[in-house]
Amino acid sequence: MDISIWFFISSGLFLGWSLGANNAVGLFGTAVSSKMVRFKVAAIIGGIFTLLGSVISGAGTTSTLTNLGGINAIAGSFTVALSVGIAITWMTKAQMPVSTSQAVVGAIIGWNIFTGSPTDFASLTKILMSWVASPIIAGIFGFLIFKLIKNTILKWKIHMLTLDNYTRIGLIIVGALASYSMGANNIANVMGMFASASPFTDIQITESFKITGIEQLFFLGGTAIAFGIITYGHNVMKTVGTDLYKISPITGFAVVFAEFLVLTLFTSQSLETFLLQNNLPSIPLVPLSATQSFIGAVIGVGLAKDPQSINFKVFGKISLGWVIAPLTAGVLSFVLLFFVQNVFEQKIIHQVPHQITQSVITKLNDEGVDTTPISDMVGIRYNNKKVFRNELMDRKEYQNQELFSIFNYAMIDSFKIDSTIINEKIDFEKFNSDEITELKRLHGKAFSHKTDFEKYMTDNLSHWFSNGDRLHDKILKEKFQFIEEIFRVDQEEVDKKKRPNKTLNK
pLDDT tens per residue across span 190-235: 988 888 778 888 787 776 677 888 889 999 999 999 999 998 887 7
Strand partners, 381: 355, 503
Q: Under 8 Å CB-to-CB from 227, ≥6 apart: which residues?
A: 16, 17, 20, 47
pLDDT on residue 506: 44
CA distance 358 to 364: 10
CA distance 117 to 215: 27
73, part of any domain: yes
Domain count, the chain: 3
Domain limits for position 448: 413-503
| Residue 192 and residue 338 in one domain | yes
Q: Under 8 Å CB-to-CB from 81, ≥6 apart: which residues?
A: 11, 12, 14, 15, 107, 190, 193, 194
2, part of any domain: no
| Residue 96 and residue 170 in one domain | yes
347, part of any domain: no
| Residue 119 and residue 252 in one domain | yes
4, part of any domain: no
Give yes or no for residue 498 having a pLDDT over 80: no
Give yes or no for residue 143 having a pLDDT over 90: yes
Say whether pTM exceeds 0.75.
yes
Give yes or no for residue 384 having a pLDDT over 50: yes
Q: How many CA atoms lie within 13 A of 266 on its CB side?
A: 31
| Residue 429 and residue 462 in one domain | yes
| Residue 305 and residue 375 in one domain | no
Geometric angle at alpha carbon 396, from 391 and 399, rounded to 5°: 105
User: pLDDT band at residue 238, thresholds of 50, 70 and 90?
Assistant: low
271, part of any domain: yes
6, part of any domain: no
| Residue 398 and residue 418 in one domain | no
Give yes or no for residue 244 having a pLDDT over 60: no
| Residue 331 and residue 369 in one domain | no
Q: Which residue has the higher pLDDT, 372 or 60?
A: 372
| Residue 139 and residue 173 in one domain | yes
Domain boundary among 320, 342, 364: 342
CA distance 477 to 494: 25
pLDDT on residue 95: 67
Domain boundary among 301, 318, 342: 342
| Residue 392 and residue 429 in one domain | no
| Residue 105 and residue 239 in one domain | yes
Q: Which residue has the higher pLDDT, 483 or 67?
A: 483
Mean of pLDDT values over 20-45: 86
Q: Which residue has the higher pLDDT, 364 or 88?
A: 364
Predicted confidence (pLDDT) per residue in 59-107, tens digit: 878 878 888 887 889 999 999 999 998 887 787 677 666 778 889 999 9
| Residue 433 and residue 320 in one domain | no
Q: Which residue stretches of 152-268 are H helix?
A: 160-191, 213-232, 237-238, 249-265
For 293, phi then psi, to 5°, come to -65, -40
Domain boundary among 317, 342, 367: 342
Strand partners, 416: 446
pLDDT on residue 85: 86
